[in-house]
Amino acid sequence: MSVALQLSGVTNTYKSGVSALKGIDLTVAEGDFFALLGPNGAGKSTLMSVLYGFYAADSGSIAIFEQPANIRNSDDAIALGIGMVHQHFMLVDTLTALENVMLPLELRGERNARALATEMLGRVGLGARLGHYPKLLSGGEQQRVALARAFVVRPALLLADELTGSLDHATGESVMQLMF
């Protein structure tokens, strides 16, 4: 089985001088599902943000499917086949639920972005909310839009920060089934 993700000595220090990541080593095999656990402030979200290009690693190396990955921004992450569900959802306020899910498909030139996004929103139970803007959606609905946006591109590697944190138990279970 190949290695999906490998980090060696990854560090990140905030501009304030606080070290968020100190020499992180991690290997994840293709097909593995794993969780990062730890107290608030331990660097879990920072690690996810480095892997998705929101923050740059100060040092160390990252490889995706055994290829060196220079992730400088989310466009680099998308090109490498990384999907991300951020704990704050990162929806574009001026786009509808449908447009938010269509966005990564359109960025990669997908011809049937609207149909794929519509289908995925239906699969997460939001088929009737396509035209709603994020401010008109509940926290759980916003999270499902973010999940649909990540799932619709069928990423080779999916990073999820608090994957089902805003969902009720039944919806969380159905999202987990959809993910697998």
DSSP the chain: --EEEEEEEEEEE-TTS-EEEEEEEEEEETT--------TTSSHHHHHHHHTTSS--SEEEEEETTEE----SHHHHHHTTEEEE-TT----TTS-HHHHHHHHHHHTT-TTHHHHHHHHHHHTT-TT-TT--GGGS-HHHHHHHHHHHHHTT--SEEEESSTTTTS-HHHHHHHHHHH-
Q: What is the pLDDT of residue 164?
A: 64
Q: Could you tell me the CA-to-CA distances from 167 to 80, 110, 129, 131 in Å, in that order? A: 29, 29, 16, 21
Q: What is the pLDDT of residue 74?
A: 73
Q: Judging by beta carbons within 10 Å of its beta carbon (0-12, 13-18, 19+), is residue 38 exposed, middle or buried? A: exposed
Percentage of the chain lying above the pLDDT 90 cut: 43
Please, which pLDDT band fits residue 124 given cuts at 50, 70 and 90?
Answer: very high
Percentage of the chain lying above the pLDDT 70 cut: 96
Q: What is the pLDDT of residue 9?
A: 97
Please, which pLDDT band fits residue 58 given cuts at 50, 70 and 90?
Answer: very high
User: Is there a contact between 137 and 167 (Cβ–Cβ < 8 Å)?
Assistant: no
Please, which pLDDT band fits residue 121 given cuts at 50, 70 and 90?
Answer: very high
- Dist. CA 116–CA 130, nearest whole Å: 12
Q: What is the pLDDT of residue 73?
A: 73
> Is a pLDDT exceeding 80 seen at residue 178?
no
pTM to 2 decimal places: 0.77
- Dist. CA 6–CA 150, nearest whole Å: 21
Instruction: Collect all residues with Cβ–Cβ distance below 8 Å to 122 and sequence separation of at least 6.
Output: none
Q: What is the pLDDT of residue 166?
A: 67
